[in-house]
Amino acid sequence: MIKVGIIGGSGLDNPDILKNPSQVTMETPYGAPSSDLTCGQIGGVDVAILARHGRKHDIAPSQVNFRANIHALEAHGCTHILASTAVGSLREAIAPGHLVFPSQFIDFTRKRETTFFDQNEVVHTPMAEPFCPSLRSLFAASATELDLVHHSDKTVVTIEGPRFSSKAESHMFRSWNADIINMSATPEVNLAREKKIHYASVAMSTDYDCWRESEESVTWEMIMEVMTQNVDKVIRLFLDVIPKIERYDDVCNG
């Protein structure tokens, strides 16, 4: 049975996109998740939406309880997680408003709880393919059908935040072959992998970080403006992809 968790915000927690919406409060051994789950159906598929930074966007990146969020979705029965995130572009070709489906990550965070296995059990989780290849392929195919400009097989670097990068850091990340930058991909994706949940991310490019000399350096106001103008692209993509997930399920080993 397929059940899809959506992690995001900025319109994705709007119950109007769900049939028969309801609120479910979850408790976990790791504390409270960022929000209640908004549950319902999309195209006949059970869906649970969680707001990563809280309903009022009042949880800073370093304060997100990633373990509680992933545990809550798993406990609710989610087999797949579709995550939305705003990202800065580290490549000329990835312009603001473009969608990106990352396949790899670089973890540049410092303060976060990054594993469920930090007590009495040692588990070494394979992480060569952190983002589900099947979901990424489905995203790309649907984006093509919907005529959405997109980029696949890219690398996201996650920084601690809440500050943005210095120019030196931005150029360093480019030299590491990172393509986009955000503050939330890790440890979210690796925790999902530890739980053997299919996880894929839809990243929306909102700016060029600060490496591009001809561009104004990124600001929060800039990010919100681009997100507001383009969030409908992510919603359209999710509405198209979710009913199709089951036919792709046996392609990926989780």
Q: Using one digit for the tens of pLDDT, what is the confidence trace for 14-63?
A: 667 899 999 999 999 999 999 999 999 999 999 999 999 998 889 999 99
pLDDT tops 60 at residue 11? no
Q: Is 207 a catalytic residue?
A: yes
pLDDT in tens, 89-129: 999 999 999 999 999 999 999 999 999 998 888 899 999 99
With a CB cutoff of 8 Å and minimum separation 6, the contacts of 51 are: 8, 9, 13, 34, 35, 57
Checking if the pLDDT of 210 tops 80, the result is: yes
The 10s digit of each residue's pLDDT in 141-161 is 999 999 999 999 999 999 999
- Give per-residue pLDDT as tens, 161-206: 999 999 999 999 999 999 999 999 999 999 999 999 999 999 999 9
Tell me if the pTM is above 0.85. yes
Alpha carbon distance 249, 142 (integer Å) = 16
Residue 2 token pair = 């397929």
Residues of the chain with pLDDT > 90: what percent?
79
Q: Tell me, what's the pLDDT at 13?
A: 60
Catalytic annotation, pick one of 13, 179, 207, 240: 207
Q: Assess whether 209 carries a catalytic annotation.
A: yes
CATH number for the domain spanning 135: value is 3.40.50.1580
Number of domains in the chain: 1
Burial 71-109 (b: 16+ CB within 10 A, else e): bbbbebebbbbbbbbbbbbbbeebebebbbbbbbbbbbb
Residue 12, pLDDT above cutoff 90: no
- Do residues 94 and 16 touch, judged by C-beta distance below 8 A? no
**Residue 61 confidence (pLDDT):** 93
pLDDT for 121? 84
Q: What is the pLDDT of residue 228?
A: 75
Is 218's pLDDT higher than 90?
no
E strand segments, 178-249: 180-182, 198-207
Q: What is the mean pLDDT of the chain?
A: 91
Residues 13, 36, 209, 240: which is the catalytic one? 209
- Calculate mean pLDDT across residues 70-91: 97
Across the range 212-241, mean pLDDT stands at 82
Backbone angles phi, psi at 229, to 5 degrees: -75, -25
Range of the structural domain that residue 160 is part of: 3-251
What pLDDT does 10 receive?
55
Instruction: Give the sign of the dihedral formed by CA 241, CA 247, CA 251, CA 254.
Output: positive
